[in-house]
Structure 1
Amino acid sequence: MPYAPEYLHLVIPGVAFEALLYGRNSDDATGSGSSVEDQLATGRTLCGQNSWRITREFKDTDISASRHTSRKRDEFEALIDAITDGATTPGVRRIVVAFNASRYYRDLDAYVRLRKACMIGNVLLCYNGQVYDLSRRDDRKTTAQHAVDAEDEAEGLRDQNLRTASQQAKAGMPHGKAIYGYTRTYDMVNGRKRCTGQEEDERGPYVLEMLRRLDAGHTLGSVKRWLRSEPNAARLDGSPWAEDLIRMTVMNRVYVGERLHRGEYIKAVWAPIKGLETPQGRAMFFRVTEKLTDPARTAHRGTEVQHLMSYLGLCGECGDHARLRYLTTTGRRKNPTMACTEKQDTSIVEHLLNAYVEEALLAWFSNKQKARAALVPADDKVEEAVTATQRLINSYEEQLAEARHLAETFDEEAGRFKLSAASLAGMEARIEPKLEAERKKLQRFTGTSPLLLRMLNEDPESVWNGRPASAERSALPGLTLEQKREVIRSVVTVRLYKATTTGARKLEPGRIRLSFVGELGFRDRPLRAPATAPSRLPGPRAASSGTSAGSRGWAAGAS
């Protein structure tokens, strides 16, 4: 049987008692640690009433004691060390004091460790206003039962938390760590914080600007340098921005008002970042996502490019999986060259290829009507399609929610649920594939990037190369190298073929073949592996004879 503190000096006479106080909580609602302070204050009062001198206090704030926690209780470990390593003073008996058993442990392993330490150090254990001597069999049995109860209570709390988390996920509530650009909102319920959602904060505009810059053709490296130059754009944890962190940030669909639950994205309770709530903003988000997840855009190079056509041009001889890469000058090769990555059997002087592609590209953009028809869908049709798709998604979601509610509602008169489990499973099997298809369709409305719209709406040569200032207008900087590459990648596929004669000094008609968007032969990305039937257009001889179907009539040397 445990001892009452007020009679302890009678049961164990002739000694002075010294106390080690321990406090812990697992949910610090206010961030002040007041719950732990209340526990220690209760312990101090108990020690004062019984003349126990307090030698040290231990506090673990906002840390669980269950077996599921991933965080180490540093103060609990320090308590164990203090019990086992403390010097024994003649005429002094030590007592460990806590508010109740669950403060010490919600895991049987922790109980066993504390019990062993107390037995080794001849230290008493006090909680719930009772003192236990663990050298006694009945006290060990009693405290062990309390430890079992504390662990079971923790398991019950965990099950409840998992159910709550699942319910919150289905309701579109936020979960996990705070997201850059948002601040969580809370209510206090019975002294505990309850998350009610999240709102955009002062960092939100930086998220939108990241997306805008990447959509305009800037590299991850340039966005990183910009963010590091903006003190107000600092990350929540204070770590410096890096390219992989920027990539993960701008691809997070939290910013378009969605959250992930069991592999599916569902509508969230919070609003998208301002600027992403419109069909145009959403389209920009998915354009950037598509760009950053396309392996063809990042293969064989870093984020800072050096050459206009490196890995953009394709080898017409080997097929659309073989790209052109830059070769430096050597003793035999006097000029920088672009050559096939597969066999290096096709090559051309770099500045000739660049000049040819740029001239043809600017001429194509000069035909505004044709270029706009190829690149820009009618805005009213896009918005109409987005609205109709979203309306259908909402209808599917409401239908499933109603069916699941009926499957959980018991009809007392009929003696069964209003919708059987088999009927619900059948509806889910029919509707969920349709729902997922509509969600994917919504993501495909990516619209036209602002970079291409500039080329369409302004003088393409001025946008491409820039222009000096004049009395009538200010200077206009030209596109960066990465922006030029983005325009080429989006608009034209470049293929290079062998010359008909070895050592030819002039460009032959048909050596460089261009297929613009909307034409046969245009490819928005290279093949990742050789095709079983090589994807090739006819070579220069066929081009010169006029039999090259679907290819642009831009041939070097042609009028």
Structure 2
Amino acid sequence: MLDSATYNTMTNNRPLRVLILARVSHDSSGVGRSVNEQVDAGKEWVKREGWELKKVIRETGSASRYSTRRQRAEWNEALAWIESGEIDALLTWENSRATRDLSGYTELRQACAKNKVKWGYGGTLYDLTQRSDRFRTGLDALLAEDEADRTSERVKRAHSANARAGRPHGKAIFGYRRIYDSQTKALLRVELDPAEAALIREAAQRYLDGETLYSIAQDWNDRGIPARRPQRKHHRGGWAWRGETLKQMLEMPAYAGLRQYRGEIIGEAMWDAIIQPEAWHKLQALLHAPERKRADVWKIRYLLTGVARCGYDGCVGNVRVSRNSSKTAAGLTHYQNYICEYGPHCSMNMKFLDAIVTEHILERMSRPDFLESLHHVEDDQSDQRRDLMRTIAEHRAWLDSVRERAAQERNLELLFDQERRVKPLIDEATKKLNRLSTVSPHVTTLAQAPDVREAWEGLAITSKREIVRSLLEVQMFPAPRRGAKGIGQAIERTKITWKHTL
């Protein structure tokens, strides 16, 4: 440790050139008073010692291990000044104002020692080329990191406890409003916003009825419905609502009155559901169904590409389109085949396979009992969905009771043991719930048409593909011999399996 007189002697009486780094983790007021107080204290130190102030850097943000160099632009600027040779000392309010991470301390110590820059805080100037000063600053850095870790653990415990109590976290959710105590500012309750909740229900029902998220978003924009939050991305063309925004919202367990923590639904929330849990789970099955995956709609031109599968032994590939030509008496004839995406395992004329699959669907959907069979499937799925949801709720209730008992008996081993046993059961039931398929709304709409065949012809290719995917599994197999042609051999080489008992 050095006093100013000793240091001035070492630098041939040249005034010490100083950089002040002031940092505060959060500045919610926007005033930055704590940072300004640190700067004022640093300037007072510089004035008292007769040093030369070269630069002041103000930083708002975390300096713990949970931050990154990219996030700490001001920290990087301070290191650049140390490396530049234009300063003789770095001043901070205290050790932790520079960094709360040992790796950050090591980086600073090495930079200061290499460039003969002192580090001052708490009224003391440290020479990091000296063993004793490295020990003292290192000890302070270790204590600063430990305090940051303790704070992080406290915050995580609080978040976990709030989540298990069903309390909200983060920004208010569209459709709800939070009511706070006017004096203490404590959260009293979360209640529905009638107008916004009605919009959520509308979006959910319209999607369940077969509308696309894009069309719903476009309608909301046309109606002038305000965005859930102020827009910050100008490239969106002024659109308040987009399809991906609605998808993100409808995926939220909060709308089913469920509390999520770290990606896992852990129980009921303290607020009422806007969408009933059973309807919400049905919504998830639709949102994440393979036929609903986002695609470049303007590029989709074929009925069965990526839908039908290769039936060659051991192959798991889907089919794609291959363009071909052949010489006939009339000249060169062009045609298209479906072939395996992984190799020349099998090939079939595209018109043949499209016709076989289409007729399979339309013949069954034209029967008078199809709608009744469809309703039986949906009722059966609803029963399965309710049973799985009840199972998950029972497992969670059991874990909650174990937590209370473990807290009373101070027996964490009891809790850990039951979590190891019960959580896999919850995960398995949740997977089954997510895998429970839902018949596409387009199927119901088509089945209710007066003339199913005529209605099919009027559908977009994307709707036709969704119907096929929702109802059938299609496989095509290699030809038994070379030169096998005609729709008859195509029928023999095609296997169609109904996904539901219809």
Distance 1:425 1:77 in 2: 43
Q: Which residue of 2 aligns with 1:334?
A: 333
Residues 234 and 156 of structure 1, relative CA distance in 2, 3 Å threshold: closer
Q: After the TM superposition, which residues 58-137 of structure 1 pair with which residues of structure 2 at under 5 Å, given as runs?
A: 58-64=57-63, 66-72=64-70, 73-87=72-86, 95-111=89-105, 114-115=108-109, 125-132=119-126
Q: Is the 8 A contact 1:2 1:130 kept in 2?
A: yes
Q: Which residue of 2 aligns with 1:528?
A: none
The Cα of 1:330 is off from its aligned counterpart by 0.9
Q: After the TM superposition, which residues 385-396 of structure 1 pair with which residues of structure 2 at under 5 Å, given as runs?
A: 386-387=385-386, 389-396=388-395
Q: Which residue of 2 aligns with 1:43?
A: 42
Q: Which residue of 2 aligns with 1:536?
A: none
1:128-161 deviation per Cα after TM superposition (whole angstroms, max 9, x unaligned):
2445566777655544443343333334334444
Q: Which residue of 2 aligns with 1:522?
A: 498
1:298-344 deviation per Cα after TM superposition (whole angstroms, max 9, x unaligned):
9xx99832222345456789799686653324133725244553767
State yes or no: 1:398 paired with 2:378: no
Q: Structure 2: which 5+ residue stretches go unaligned?
A: 237-241
1:499-542 deviation per Cα after TM superposition (whole angstroms, max 9, x unaligned):
99967767589658785xxxxx4358xxxxxxxxxxxxxxxxxx
Q: Is the 8 A contact 1:463 1:479 kept in 2?
A: yes
Q: Which residue of 1 aligns with 2:143?
A: 149
Q: Which residue of 1 aligns with 2:301?
A: 306
Q: After the TM superposition, which residues 454-533 of structure 1 pair with which residues of structure 2 at under 5 Å, given as runs?
A: 454-459=445-450, 460-465=452-457, 478-493=458-473, 511=492, 521-523=497-499
Q: Which residue of 2 aligns with 1:453?
A: 444
SS in 1 for 2:459: coil
State yes or no: 1:371 paired with 2:362: no
Distance 2:419 2:16 in 1: 67
Of 10-19 and 455-464, the range deviating more from structure 2: 10-19
Q: Is the 8 A contact 1:256 1:282 kept in 2?
A: no
State yes or no: 1:421 paired with 2:413: yes
Distance 2:109 2:319 in 1: 71
Residues 181 and 137 of structure 1, relative CA distance in 2, 3 Å threshold: same
Distance 1:354 1:18 in 2: 80
SS in 1 for 2:81: helix
The amino acid that maps onto 1:403 is: V
Q: After the TM superposition, which residues 354-369 of structure 1 pair with which residues of structure 2 at under 5 Å, given as runs?
A: 354-355=354-355, 357-368=357-368
1:246-300 deviation per Cα after TM superposition (whole angstroms, max 9, x unaligned):
99958965566667667854347487995x5452343022223132699xx99xx
The Cα of 1:40 is off from its aligned counterpart by 1.9
Residues 16 and 512 of structure 1, relative CA distance in 2, 3 Å threshold: closer
Distance 1:117 1:399 in 2: 55
Distance 1:420 1:113 in 2: 40
SS in 2 for 1:79: helix
Residues 247 and 503 of structure 1, relative CA distance in 2, 3 Å threshold: farther
The Cα of 1:102 is off from its aligned counterpart by 1.2
SS in 2 for 1:306: coil
What percent of counterpart residues are identical? Answer: 22
Larger Rg: 1
Q: Which residue of 2 aligns with 1:347?
A: 348
Q: Is the 8 A contact 1:496 1:511 kept in 2?
A: no
Residues 70 and 198 of structure 1, relative CA distance in 2, 3 Å threshold: farther
Residues 427 and 82 of structure 1, relative CA distance in 2, 3 Å threshold: closer
Q: Alpha carbon RMSD of aligned pairs, Å? A: 5.9
Q: Is the 8 A contact 1:24 1:62 kept in 2?
A: yes
Q: How many residue pairs align between the two structures?
A: 478
Select the structure that is richer in helix. Answer: 2
SS in 2 for 1:286: helix
Q: Is the 8 A contact 1:284 1:446 kept in 2?
A: no
Q: Structure 1: which 5+ residue stretches go unaligned?
A: 89-93, 411-416, 466-477, 516-520, 525-549, 553-559
Q: Is the 8 A contact 1:216 1:483 kept in 2?
A: no
The Cα of 1:402 is off from its aligned counterpart by 1.6
SS in 2 for 1:409: helix
Distance 2:462 2:175 in 1: 31
SS in 2 for 1:328: strand
The amino acid that maps onto 1:443 is: N
Q: Is the 8 A contact 1:211 1:288 kept in 2?
A: no
